[in-house]
Structure 1
């Protein structure tokens, strides 16, 4: 029997693309960010619905599934309220905070046979997460939850994510790790066209790197793969690095290493000053295409309808917010093994 999915908080389709790759048919994705519609529909042959999940009804979601299908409801709610970047801040007023409760409401009303949720590992510290798990169990689901080390599944990032799988048709767990050896930066981007800072490939508009200021260009020239800003001459160091509070951020303005996985991709991963996002040997930050490849998007995945007018901030947000495609595939394969 065919598993069919509806993807809540779908973004540009990272999870959807992975589920499709595993053999699951994804019928629709919901997201409040309408700028994701082109990428979602163009690459995945699924319908994008521009709508706040808080306003989505169970009747609407249920209408997407075929009568004889196994229903999968997937939801990777925005992780910002749960992120380590927000620890210590009052996030209780964040509008994204209740989204897991809306997801839980739809599960209760739609009654899918299968459910998956993915988020940052810190989500487990919050009451909304425990309420979500308790609700699944009270509805009769077998529940599996685990912190996933992405490199163990061939994702070339040091990324860790918390994954929940729930089933009403048998015991469910994530498939065992598939990679003993990490996929490296060189494996992923080693053969891509060389670029200078601010340059764009003539063959791929997404293979474009952001401009660097004169001082940042000088800084990256003094940066070593795997090194820190401490490798720079004193006159190049930022004022914030000289303060005691700045000493705990050694990876900012860092270069990646060829023989190791990339760091976790963020919404600002195209910026040299935003983390260890410097190219291992070229004097620039990674390109948007390189960031997408680290997120395991296919090489031909298109993010905008007009590639010549790409916004680094806009596309960077799409890529950084996405579920890695390979993780979506692993989740799908886990359900397919039932």
Structure 2
């Protein structure tokens, strides 16, 4: 959203390690490293007043833990917002109610639009309407907005300034015939063997960059977080036998391992967008995260490229934390296009 032209005044992050990454890359923003339930809107309003600005927009992705047991909740006929596990969503509503932004944006899992025959979505709509907002919700695919990933997310956009909420959603810029591919995204990054790489490394010299890569590369000539996880010999042997687009299911039956993930040990296809990335970037058994032509899982930097983070965005922490930071993020390029469209209308 910063790249769209917004001045990000304040942010909230409970996890100190994740907050450290955000503060490093967004030094201009006041970060509250705390449980949002401990943060008063008065504290945030004081920051706005000190900078002589007003709160125009609130955006976030409040998790809905109650959905992990959605079936039980539905059988019990329990209200979505009365489910104590969804307290973060209620805290988001509190911030909107007290700070009264002109516009708010919520990102969430696609299923929120259809849970309990759409009753959850309706409850969210009614809650914000009672606060004086009109809103709409749409399912957006990141690949339709120039991100090399078939990542689908539910986006809610509401406003209290009389704008038809449907026009606040950006028009698609890409389609099946011109999607940005994995090759477009990562082919210029230095090749690595399993267990090699550095926190900082240089680009390949004289490489002809795609337009997407030109957008991603850092002006300093330094690439951060391009390190490959070390895999066991038996894992590397399995990876070497799997071709682009194939998964564990394509191996001889005697070589298949037990995994609940349908895309386990899946190798990415170079000339297609990636499937949705998750938080576990270095575990082949969790999905299609094997490099298209190198026998290893993708590095954090390759994952960041596929999520549309620029190369000068440094991720701080261990691989577990960095995986969460990248895998749980809204692709910055998608966020930028949402933000630019809103600013153009305002």
TM-score range, shorter chain: 0.7 to 0.9
Q: CA deviation at 1:251?
A: 1.2
1:192 and 2:192 are equivalent in the alignment: no
For normalisation by structure 2, the TM-score amounts to: 0.82
Of structures 1 and 2, the one scoring higher in RCO (CA 8 A, sep 6+) is 1
1:8-44 per-residue CA deviation (whole Å, 9 max, x = no partner) reads: xxxxxxxxxxx11000110111011111222212212
Tell me if structure 2 keeps the 8 A contact 1:100–1:132. Answer: no
Task: Write the distance in 2 (CA, Å) between the matches of 1:259 and 1:186.
Answer: 6
Task: Write the distance in 1 (CA, Å) between the matches of 2:128 and 2:231.
Answer: 48
1:210 and 2:229 are equivalent in the alignment: yes
Task: Give 3-state SS (helix, strand or coil) of 2:42's partner.
Answer: helix
Cα distance change of structure 1 residues 95 and 276 upon mapping to structure 2, 3 Å threshold: farther
Tell me if structure 2 keeps the 8 A contact 1:207–1:290. Answer: yes
1:301 and 2:343 are equivalent in the alignment: no
The structure 1 residue matched to 2:38, chosen from 44, 52, 55, is 55
Cα distance change of structure 1 residues 60 and 96 upon mapping to structure 2, 3 Å threshold: farther
Task: Write the distance in 2 (CA, Å) between the matches of 1:64 and 1:132.
Answer: 28
Cα distance change of structure 1 residues 99 and 75 upon mapping to structure 2, 3 Å threshold: same
Task: Write the distance in 2 (CA, Å) between the matches of 1:294 and 1:233.
Answer: 30
1:99 and 2:88 are equivalent in the alignment: yes
1:249-271 per-residue CA deviation (whole Å, 9 max, x = no partner) reads: 44111100001111111110232
1:262-298 per-residue CA deviation (whole Å, 9 max, x = no partner) reads: 1111110232221000000100000011111111111
Task: Write the distance in 1 (CA, Å) between the matches of 2:55 and 2:341.
Answer: 14
Q: CA deviation at 1:323?
A: 1.4
Q: CA deviation at 1:321?
A: 1.4
- The total of aligned residue pairs comes to 306
Q: Which residue of 1 aligns with 2:179?
A: 182
Q: Which residue of 1 aligns with 2:139?
A: 147
Q: Which residue of 2 aligns with 1:323?
A: 330
Q: CA deviation at 1:68?
A: 4.9
Cα distance change of structure 1 residues 28 and 149 upon mapping to structure 2, 3 Å threshold: same
Q: CA deviation at 1:129?
A: 4.6
Q: Which residue of 2 aligns with 1:71?
A: 56
> Structure 1 regions of 5+ residues with no counterpart?
1-18, 305-309
Runs of 4+ in structure 1 over 3 Å off: 66-70, 79-83, 86-96, 126-130
Tell me if structure 1 keeps the 8 A contact 2:41–2:98. Answer: yes
Tell me if structure 2 keeps the 8 A contact 1:256–1:280. Answer: yes
Q: CA deviation at 1:174?
A: 0.5
Q: CA deviation at 1:131?
A: 2.8
Task: Write the distance in 1 (CA, Å) between the matches of 2:15 and 2:344.
Answer: 33
Q: CA deviation at 1:101?
A: 1.2
1:176-235 per-residue CA deviation (whole Å, 9 max, x = no partner) reads: 111132110000001110011111146145111111112211110100100121332333
Q: CA deviation at 1:90?
A: 6.9
Tell me if structure 2 keeps the 8 A contact 1:100–1:129. Answer: no
Task: Write the distance in 2 (CA, Å) between the matches of 1:103 and 1:130.
Answer: 17
Q: CA deviation at 1:62?
A: 2.2
Task: Write the distance in 1 (CA, Å) between the matches of 2:235 and 2:65.
Answer: 28
Task: Give 3-state SS (helix, strand or coil) of 1:145's partner.
Answer: strand
Tell me if structure 1 keeps the 8 A contact 2:64–2:89. Answer: no
**RMSD, matched Cα:** 2.4
Tell me if structure 1 keeps the 8 A contact 2:64–2:88. Answer: no
Tell me if structure 2 keeps the 8 A contact 1:269–1:275. Answer: no
1:72-129 per-residue CA deviation (whole Å, 9 max, x = no partner) reads: 111211255447xx66577999965221112112211221111111111112226655
Q: Which residue of 2 aligns with 1:6?
A: none
